[in-house]
Structure 1
């Protein structure tokens, strides 16, 4: 009935798999849990190999790096059941009835269920504060908040999907492995009128990057977004930031915004790396940076 698919890269997933296995056994369903490391050559895989000793569970590592999109598509190809539950390696179910909740929501007419995410209440160290605040304010949304923009509020780290959907929409393997593959996936779902039902069944997201790594990923994300728009994969108005960027481009103000950004960049960095970063200033930083690309 249910294939749980966990793409990994340099992360321990044994505890996550044990919890999911326990919940699936308790639900009394046919299931499989497939974990696939994307050629990280990580020492974490020594522990992950123990997954192969668990019933209905498997762990493998790719012989070469496939990228986030293809790694997920290969997981789908390996699966044997009609319902697929995608979970990121750095997540963990909050409730002991996590699997049961998803199962209770399955209907013939429902093709995708998104359960949402949460971040722990405990304040992290200063190096992780920006990612923590951004996640809590921009990603950890309630069902009502997500329903205001059903597709754009959909994230690929905790969702259940019918396998038939992948005959129409899969993760795009042609784009550079630079992030925003989930944004493009949600846009393709919207374009193909695939309905998404948002429910309250969150996982904790533990993957808090330090500031330097978070900023590097944001730079990659902005480059990816610009690439997707310039190559016609995404319309300029799908993401708020790209919509504003397109207006700046239309009026040929890129140079002025980029120049201003370079002047105030040290001030912006001082704030967003602090213990009390402003998301408004972070948005200013992101807009300025994309204008410099």
Structure 2
């Protein structure tokens, strides 16, 4: 009935699998949990414990294949038609997490996104930027997500049929630079597949430190630019690329790029402070976009 698919990389997923396994035992349904490790250097020994749980498996790839390819491979390995994708650094918020998803299983051509939350306790200063962004921009209510149902969809917690996944699987040809969920959601639009938003969240636990998150954010800007330049998504699908194209149209790209480089240290000082501004974070990413070589 249900295959739970968890791509892992340098993360201990035993607690997540154990929690899911305990919920599954109460449901008495046909279910499997597959964890596929993308050639990690850490936690592979600890995660072997997963193989001791009934109908659970932990496998390690010999070569790193990236976020898109590993999700496609997980779907291929799945036994059942209904696929529940979860990121390794998540944990269900509610005890009825699996049963809530089970109620959504029917013959409709749709995917179901349960949402994301962050723990209310503020983390240390060196992880604050990621937490502030997550709580303000990602941890949205169902009503807020439904205002933009596709762009608010994230791939860390969603239910999809294998037959639908075969139509809109993850594009393995794009660089491993993030925004694979952006392209995935746009493919859903093209295939006219509805995104159903429900309140069935997971906590996102894997907060990166400020420097790491900023580096990944810069990689994401490069990834977004690649999607737009390759005509895989329209420029106005994401606000950041839309604003960049307006700046480029009116000839301000080089001026903003110069300003970004001149004031980068000031940006970093504020973003790494106790009160990081998301407005300045948006300006930072837009400025960084302007420094990239135009197509």
TM-score range, shorter chain: over 0.9
The one-character-per-residue Cα deviations of 1:136-191 (angstroms, maximum 9, x if unpaired) are: 00000000000000000000000000111122110000001111111100110111
User: What is the match of residue 146 of structure 2?
Assistant: 147
The one-character-per-residue Cα deviations of 1:227-261 (angstroms, maximum 9, x if unpaired) are: 11111111100000100001111222210110111
- Local SS of the residue matching 1:41: coil
User: What's the offset of the Cα at 1:105?
Assistant: 2.0
User: What is the match of residue 242 of structure 2?
Assistant: 243
Q: Cα RMSD over matched residues?
A: 0.8
Tell me if 1:99 matches 2:98.
Answer: yes
- Give the whole-Å Cα distance in 2 for the aligned partners of 1:194 and 1:153: 15
Q: State how many pairs are aligned.
A: 292
User: What's the offset of the Cα at 1:45?
Assistant: 1.0
- Give the whole-Å Cα distance in 2 for the aligned partners of 1:110 and 1:16: 28
Kept after mapping to 2: 8 A contact 1:110/1:196: no
- Local SS of the residue matching 1:291: helix
- Give the whole-Å Cα distance in 1 for the aligned partners of 2:108 and 2:218: 39
- Local SS of the residue matching 1:108: coil
The one-character-per-residue Cα deviations of 1:199-235 (angstroms, maximum 9, x if unpaired) are: 0000000011000100110110001111111111111
- Give the whole-Å Cα distance in 2 for the aligned partners of 1:167 and 1:287: 34
The one-character-per-residue Cα deviations of 1:14-40 (angstroms, maximum 9, x if unpaired) are: 111011011111111100000001011
User: What is the match of residue 181 of structure 2?
Assistant: 182
- Give the whole-Å Cα distance in 2 for the aligned partners of 1:121 and 1:50: 30
The one-character-per-residue Cα deviations of 1:91-147 (angstroms, maximum 9, x if unpaired) are: 000111000011112222152110001000001000011100000000000000000
User: What is the match of residue 5 of structure 2?
Assistant: 5
Counterparts in 2 of 1:119-268, with a 5 A limit? 119-268=118-267
User: What is the match of residue 277 of structure 1?
Assistant: 276
The normalised TM-score by structure 2 is 0.98
Which ranges in structure 2 are unaligned for 5 or more consecutive residues?
none
Kept after mapping to 1: 8 A contact 2:93/2:201: yes
Kept after mapping to 2: 8 A contact 1:110/1:197: no
Counterparts in 2 of 1:57-136, with a 5 A limit? 57-136=56-135
- Give the whole-Å Cα distance in 1 for the aligned partners of 2:166 and 2:11: 30
Which ranges in structure 1 are unaligned for 5 or more consecutive residues?
none
- Local SS of the residue matching 2:287: helix
- Local SS of the residue matching 1:160: strand
The normalised TM-score by structure 1 is 0.98
